[in-house]
Amino acid sequence: MTTRKRKATAVGGDVKVRVAPFGPRFWTYRLTTPQKARKIAKHSNDRLVVPADPDSIRITRTMKVDAPRKAVFATTELLENIFMHLPMRTLFSVQRVCRQFHDIMATSQQIQQKLWLRPSGQQAAQRWVLNGGQVQLHSGNWGWVPPWFVPDTPALQQQQQQQQRHRYVYQPLRLNPLLGCSDTVLGNTTALRAFDNRAGEVVKLTMTGSLTAAESWKGMFVTDPPCQAAQIQLSWLIKGRPPATGFVTRYVRSQNGLTLGDIFKAAVEQWGDVFVSAKGSGFRAKSQRRLGEVLRKIERQRGKVAVVNVQATTITLSDVIVPSDEEWARMERYEDTRTLAERS
């Protein structure tokens, strides 16, 4: 039986060619030109071509096509620079091309930070305090003042304690691009969202995926710097006629920082009430059940996999707000002005 392997057509190397009809005889060729290399490759379809000496195969100047390509793919720094210019979602697909691409992304600190798989290392900003909203005026009546944030300071804390005012203190963080802030009826500013939901920022998913499959995006951190606590109301969907839907509400905490995988794992594996609508009727509560067990049973019956219902899934980040770039800049100017006033 004839054995076939990839042909060694690199210029400058010696190859041994075994001709099948003649048994274990080998012919040795010196590949001096690309034309000769192509000729040997063309007439060795039924022959075993192996390098006589792997170190003797080298890239020369005559190889005008392969040399630049091999030089780029052999240089980790060049590939890393190319990957840094790709969109974040594209990088998750690129890492599945080959083991070399996967290893570069797994060992590059810059790419890991761009993919939100590693914290940026930035220190958490000073906590912000919510002011305004429904306040008591000097006349004794209650009035509406648009809410705003100010940096939390010991002087402000003492003042609010003396006035016996409830303090709403939040940690400003940056949000994962796969998540988005939910709008409120009051408006879309960070202060209005915090006034509407005092527990923290309510965010939603912008992409769907499997609940139980191991996917690389589930290792992404939710915020930067990483937050440590959140509550998820996860809605799921199994297509069919009628479709099977349901939702669960779970609370999750992690000292090392929450990832998307931590949130989905808590929703699937934690015990609690599971609300299911499998026959087109209203939701029925299944007490003290795991969502994973309920989904596996329905998936076996329907032969389809459950996916996340993005439109009905929300994540509440406890004591966290997500300011816009304009709000970050405004707070920095406010702190600079306050610092100058203190120094003068």
Contact by Cβ (8 Å): 17, 40: yes
Q: What's the pLDDT score for residue 8? A: 42
Counting every residue written for the chain, the total comes to 344
Domain ranges of the chain: 14-56, 75-114, 130-321
CA 259 – CA 88 distance, rounded (Å) = 16
Closest by CA position to 172, among listed 333, 49, 63, 325: 325
CA 57 – CA 24 distance, rounded (Å) = 24
Tell me the pLDDT tens digit for each residue of 216-275: 888 999 999 999 999 999 999 988 888 889 999 999 999 999 999 999 999 999 999 999
Tell me the pLDDT tens digit for each residue of 80-113: 888 999 998 899 888 888 888 888 889 999 999 9
Tell me the pLDDT tens digit for each residue of 50-70: 444 444 444 455 555 666 767
Helix-then-strand count for the chain, H and E: 11, 17
Cβ burial of 2 (10 Å; 0-12, 13-18, 19+) is: exposed
